[in-house]
A = this chain, B = another copy of it.
Amino acid sequence: MSDQAIPLDAETKAFELPEDHRDELRLWLRLLTCSTLIEGEVRRRLRERFDVTLPRFDLMAQLDKAPDGMTLSDLSKRMMVSNGNLTGLVERLVSSGHLERRVSELDRRAQIIRLTTTGRAEFRTMAAEHEAWIADLFGGLTEKEQRDLMRLLAKTKFSARRAMSGEAA
C-alpha cells in the first residue's frame, strides 16, 4: 500500500494540489499579444498619417458619440482610465482647438467636454481611415470566425468581470 496515495477524484481537493493553469496563461498571453500588436500598429499609423496619439483619438471617439458632451467622470469610466489622466489629455486637446469645456449649469464642480466643429471634422476624417485599417488587420478572418471571436470575447469579458467582483466560480 502506497504512502503517498493521491486521490483519483480530481474534485477531492483535500490536499490543495497545485493545479496546472498553463493553458489559461498561454491564452492570456496570446490575447495580450494580439492586442499589443494591433494597438501598436494603429498607434504608429495614427502618428504617421495624422500626427495624433491613440489616447487623443480615443478621447475624441468617445466625444463624437456624445453630441451634447460628457463630463470628465463619464469619460474616465467609459475609457477605463483615471480621472487625473483625463485632466491632462483634455487640457492638451483644448489647447489644440479640438475640444471645448464649459462648466455644467447643474453642478458647478463638473465640466462638460465637447468636440469643437474643427475637432469633429478632423476626427471623422481620421475615423474613416482608421476603420479601414482595422478591417484590413482583421481581414484574414472569415465572417463566421469574426462572429465566433466576438462571442468568445464577450464571454471572456463577462468571465473576467465576474472574477473581479469577487465571487466563487
State the A residues within 8 Å of B (CB).
Answer: 18-19, 21-28, 30-41, 80, 128, 131-132, 134-141, 145-146, 148-150, 152-164, 169
Contact A169 B139 (CB under 8 A): yes
Contact B134 A25 (CB under 8 A): yes
Contact B19 A154 (CB under 8 A): no
Contact B156 A138 (CB under 8 A): yes
CA gap between A31 and B24 in the complex, in Å: 16
Q: In the complex, what residue of chain B is closest to A41 when comparing beta carbons? A: B164
Q: List, in ascending order, chain B residues with CB within 8 A of A36's CB.
A: 35, 80
Contact A21 B155 (CB under 8 A): no
CA gap between A155 and B27 in the complex, in Å: 13
Residue pairs across A and B with Cβ atoms less than 8 A apart, 18 shown, are A21-B134, A24-B137, A24-B139, A28-B38, A28-B134, A31-B31, A33-B80, A33-B157, A34-B157, A34-B160, A41-B160, A41-B163, A138-B160, A139-B163, A140-B163, A145-B152, A149-B149, A149-B153
Distance (whole angstroms) from the CB of A117 to the closest CB of chain B: 22
Contact B153 A34 (CB under 8 A): yes
Contact A148 B152 (CB under 8 A): yes
Contact A146 B24 (CB under 8 A): yes
Contact A131 B37 (CB under 8 A): no
Among B23, B38, B132, B169, point to the contact of A160 (Cβ < 8 A).
B38
Among B39, B162, B164, point to the contact of A32 (Cβ < 8 A).
B39
Contact A137 B160 (CB under 8 A): yes
